[in-house]
Structure formats: structure tokens, C-alpha cells
């Protein structure tokens, strides 16, 4: 398909600069200080879809940030692809660790990205990967090669749990009707080895508050005589894992699907070097559930991580205080069949149960979502694999990802169609971390590969 490669070469600079403009808007959905920027971003996405050639583009208001919907229906009898993506981004904290400002995109070369990568919050997750679809669509329209109908649903609350997407999907099932859902919000093994994500973990995210005395106390006058909320919170968090690093919440593992040794052997075929992994993270050793290897621990096993903790005096110097309260943000990654609402309940019940009488505990659920596994014999999977094979010269490997895109399970339930996760990012892109980036190679390769998926999907659907 030479045309697309020519198109990319001729428009390379524009394709990159348009994405850079989008990355300049700090659309941090978790922090209300950025709310106007998030809204401005939805407007920018709307305009880009209009320019790309959609017939109908709408900003759909929700109780939170708007969802941008767009479509181009060329023939009701042809298949329809629904593209999902999100225009919101993670908070940039800790900001001091960025080598360049998170919302002033710059292109820098790295060992993995000799052609350069765009450094900015959201470069990969998900503005960059979402925008690949807009540009691939633009090409198909301009070259008159669009083989089917297309719908876009780009939301602004993915990083805060897609809280308003559920009702939107439920209330717009007809409008969103499609034959396959296409999402680029995951990664692939390497720039030499494409992969397709066939499994995702679910998520339950809660915030806990432990209260001891009704006011901060002098640790000399009260130390040893009253429960210190920080010491207690630490004890409670510590008790959530046993000596084998298994989670101790009663019932937590009841519905966990145990993979067969054959399936685990299949997974083990994906190229992975534990020494490289440790070296890349400066780790003396890995750490996790007994009886599972690293690529199983972060993919097919559920986890419990504290994502944030705070309490007492955290300023400069020393303050001899026993604080009244201590807090933590805790998230659990879930595997298919674990229900996130049930797990949130089990956690809440257990966490309150293990609190000593000397403190009071409050648990506030933030959000969550179900895990997901997709079959590799579907038309959608085959079309994606054929597209990768053509542009990378080597077939894609199916992999289970530890990440969560809660809405995938929701889509299958409400829209009755399969989702194909065509990710073009790399683990080393540092999404959710300082210095997030997205390779120029990956961005352009995505734009090149996506139109092929459309062609093969229509072909195989005949």
C-alpha cells in the first residue's frame, strides 16, 4: 500500500505538529484546576475530526467532561468500525522529575527511538494513539479508500474511571452500533515485534482514612498512650498481603481464573529478559506473588498497590506530632471474572473489620472496571494481525496486559461487539510517569497500519 507511505512522508511534519499542538493543552481530568483545559481539548478534538472528513461531529455533554462523537456513514450495508480513545491525561506529578515541561512537547532522540520521540504528558496515553486514528481516517477520506463506515467516540474521563461513559453508552446503543471496536490505548512488545493485547485487568480504586484522636497531639505527652493513625494505617496496609505476597482479603481470589500450564507456557514464549527488566528499573530484585513469574504477576494475577499515602508532618525538618488522621489511595488490579464492585465491597468490609477499636476507618470507592479477555479467532483479531504482519513484516503476538481499560467490558455488554486493542506504544514510553513520550516511528507506523486493518476487516466480513 504505497500510497499511505507516500502520504505519510509528504505530510510527516504536519502530522507531527498537529499532535504537538494537541499535547500543549493540559487536559488533566483528575484535577479540577485544569477543567477549562479539558473542555478546550474536547473542542480541539471536535475540530480535528471535522477537518479529517467526518460528516457529523458532536460534543455530547455528560455530568462530567464531554464525549466527542463523530461519524462518516458511506453505506449502511457496509461494516462499521467504532474507534474509541480519550483526550484526557494523567496528572504530571511529580513535576520536578520532568526533563522538559510536561505540556511543552519537544522531540528528543533515545536509544529505543533513534528517529526521535515526542516528550509530553499524553504523548502516548492517549492523545498520540487516539490521533493516529484521526489521521489514518483523514488519509482514507482524502485518498477515497475508506472501505466502510466509521464512528468515533473520544472521551475525557478515562484517567478518572470513565464515570459518565456507562450511561452514555447505555443511552446511545443505536447510535454507537458497530461491527468491531478499535482502540489504541495499550502497548506492543517492541518496534521490531508487534503484539495485540488480548487481555486486560480490571480495577478497583479506593481511598481510605484512618482517624485516631480528634486533634493532632504532642508525641511526647501522648506518644505510646494513644493509637497513632499512621502506625495503624501502616499495620493495616501491611496485613493486606501474607508472607507469600498473596492478598489476604477474604474471598478476594474466589473468582480468579487459573490459567492452564499450557496457556502459561504459551505466554512464556513472548520475548522477555528479566535482567534487562531489572536493569531498566535499577532493581536489585523483582518482587511479587510466590509461584508466578514477572510476566504472570503483572498480567494474569490480581494485585493490591498503595498509589499514595500521607499523614502527619511532611514538611521540611522535624515535628513531633501524632496526627489526628492518616490517608491512603489504594488500587487493586483484577483479572477476568473478578467483579470490581464485589471486590470493592470485600475490601471495604475487610479493611473496616481489621481496624483496632482505638481508631475509626472510612473507605471511599473512587472508581473501577471489569477485566476482559478477547478470543484470537475473531475476524477483528485476524484483520489486525494481517495489518501488523504487512507493515512490520512479522506477525503480532497475542499478550495479556496488566493495565485496565474498564470500558472494554462495558462495550461488549452494551454494544455486543468485540474490541480489538491495537497498541503502538512501548513500556518504556513512561506513561503515567515523568517524561512520558511516544516514538515518531510508532506514531507514523500506527497511521500506516490502521487503514490496512479497515481493508482486511471489510474483506474478511464479506
Binding to its own copies (CB under 8 A): which residues in 315-354? 315-323, 326-329, 331, 333
Q: Does 203 bind its own copies (CB under 8 A)?
A: yes
Query: How do beta strands 56-60 and 67-72 pair?
Result: antiparallel
Name the β-bridge partners of 255: none
> Which of 293, 236, 287, 237 is closest to 264 using CA atoms?
293
* Cβ-proximal residues to 5 (8 Å cutoff; 6+ apart), any chain: 448
Q: Which is nearer to its own copies, 317 or 393 (CB)?
A: 317
Q: Is 133 in the site for its own copies (CB under 8 A)?
A: no
Q: Is 96 in the site for its own copies (CB under 8 A)?
A: no
**H helix runs in 92-206, sequence order:** 127-142, 165-171
* 3-class DSSP state of 13: helix
**Comparison of 76 and 94: residue with beta carbon closer to its own copies:** 94
User: Strand, coil or helix: what is 329?
Assistant: strand
Interface positions, 161-200, toward its own copies (CB under 8 A): 161, 187
Residues 221-240 that bind its own copies (CB under 8 A): 221-228, 230-231, 233-235, 237-239
Q: Is 272 in the site for its own copies (CB under 8 A)?
A: no
Residues numbered 138 to 157 that lie near its own copies (CB under 8 A) are none
86 is a site residue for its own copies (CB under 8 A): no
CB-CB neighbours of 458 under 10 Å: 18
Q: Counting contacts by CB under 8 A, is residue 301 touching its own copies?
A: yes
Please pick, from the candidates 214, 258, 261, 262, the single residue that binds its own copies as defined by CB under 8 A: 214
Distance between CA 368 and CA 361 in Å, rounded? 21
Please state the closest distance from residue 45 (CB atom) to its own copies, in A.
21
Residue 72 makes contact with its own copies by CB under 8 A: no
* Tally of CB atoms within 10 A around 202: 25
Give yes or no for residue 401 binding its own copies (CB under 8 A): yes
d(CA 122, CA 88): 8
Per CB under 8 A, contacts with its own copies among 354-373 are 356-358, 360, 366-367
Among 303, 344, 348, 417, binds its own copies (CB under 8 A): 303
Q: C-beta of 32: minimal distance to its own copies in Å? A: 7
User: Applying CB under 8 A, what is the total number of residues that bind its own copies?
Assistant: 102
- Residue 30 within binding range of its own copies, rule CB under 8 A: yes
The DSSP H or E segment spanning 151 is strand 149-155
ω into 94 cis (within 30 of 0)? yes
Amino acid at each position: 500500500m504505497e500510497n499511505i507511505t507516500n502520504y505519510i512522508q509528504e505530510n510527516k511534519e504536519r502530522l507531527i505538529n498537529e499532535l504537538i499542538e494537541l499535547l500543549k493543552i493540559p487536559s488533566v481530568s483528575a484535577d479540577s484546576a485544569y477543567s477549562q483545559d479539558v473542555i478546550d481539548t474536547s473542542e480541539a478534538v471536535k475540530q480535528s475530526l471535522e477537518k479529517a472528513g467526518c460528516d457529523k461531529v458532536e460534543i455530547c455533554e455528560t455530568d462530567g467532561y464531554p464525549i466527542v462523537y463523530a461519524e462518516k456513514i458511506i453505506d449502511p450495508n457496509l461494516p462499521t468500525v467504532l474507534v474509541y480513545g480519550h483526550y484526557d491525561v494523567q496528572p504530571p506529578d511529580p513535576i520536578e522529575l520532568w526533563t522538559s515541561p510536561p505540556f511543552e512537547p519537544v522531540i528528543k532522540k533515545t536509544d529505543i527511538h533513534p528517529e526521535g520521540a515526542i516528550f509530553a504528558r499524553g504523548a502516548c496515553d492517549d492523545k498520540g494513539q487516539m490521533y493516529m486514528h484521526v489521521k489514518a481516517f483523514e488519509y482514507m477520506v482524502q485518498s477515497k479508500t475508506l472501505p466502510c463506515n466509521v464512528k468515533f467516540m473520544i472521551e475525557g474521563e478515562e484517567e478518572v474511571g470513565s464515570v459518565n461513559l456507562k450511561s452514555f453508552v447505555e443511552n446511545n446503543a443505536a447510535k454507537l452500533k458497530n461491527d468491531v471496536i478499535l482502540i489504541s490505548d495499550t502497548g506492543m512488545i517492541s518496534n521490531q515485534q508487534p503484539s495485540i493485547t488480548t487481555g486486560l485487568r480490571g480495577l478497583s480504586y479506593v481511598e481510605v482514612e484512618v482517624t485516631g484522636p480528634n486533634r493532632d497531639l504532642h508525641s511526647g505527652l501522648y506518644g505510646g498512650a494513644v493509637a497513632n493513625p499512621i502506625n495503624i494505617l501502616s499495620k493495616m496496609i501491611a496485613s493486606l498481603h501474607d508472607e507469600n505476597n498473596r492478598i489476604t482479603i477474604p474471598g478476594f481470589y474466589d473468582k480468579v481464573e487459573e490459567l492452564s500450564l499450557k496457556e502459561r507456557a504459551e505466554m512464556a514464549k513472548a520475548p522477555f529478559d528479566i535482567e534487562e527488566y531489572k536493569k531498566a528499573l535499577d532493581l536489585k530484585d523483582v518482587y511479587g506473588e510466590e509461584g508466578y513469574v514477572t510476566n504472570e504477576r503483572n498480567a494474569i494475577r490480581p494485585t493490591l498497590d498503595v498509589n499514595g499515602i500521607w499523614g502527619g508532618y511532611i514538611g521540611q525538618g522535624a515535628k513531633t506530632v501524632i496526627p489526628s488522621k492518616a490517608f491512603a489511595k489504594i488500587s487493586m488490579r483484577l483479572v477476568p471474572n473478578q467483579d470490581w464492585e464485589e471486590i470493592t465491597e470485600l475490601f471495604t468490609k475487610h479493611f473496616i473489620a481489621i481496624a483496632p477499636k482505638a481508631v475509626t476507618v472510612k473507605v471511599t470507592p473512587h472508581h473501577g472496571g471489569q477485566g476482559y479477555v478477547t478470543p484470537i479467532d475473531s475476524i477483528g483479531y485476524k484483520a489486525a494481525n494481517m495489518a501488523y504482519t504487512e507493515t512490520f513484516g512479522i506477525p503480532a503476538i497475542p499478550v495479556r496486559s496488566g493495565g485496565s481499560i474498564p470500558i472494554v467490558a462495558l462495550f461488549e455488554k452494551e454494544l455486543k461487539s468485540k474490541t480489538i486493542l491495537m497498541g503502538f506504544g512501548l513500556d518504556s514510553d513512561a506513561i503515567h510517569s515523568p517524561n512520558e513520550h511516544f516514538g515518531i516511528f510508532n506514531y507514523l507506523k500506527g497511521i500506516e497500519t490502521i487503514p490496512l486493518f479497515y481493508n482486511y476487516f471489510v474483506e474478511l466480513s464479506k
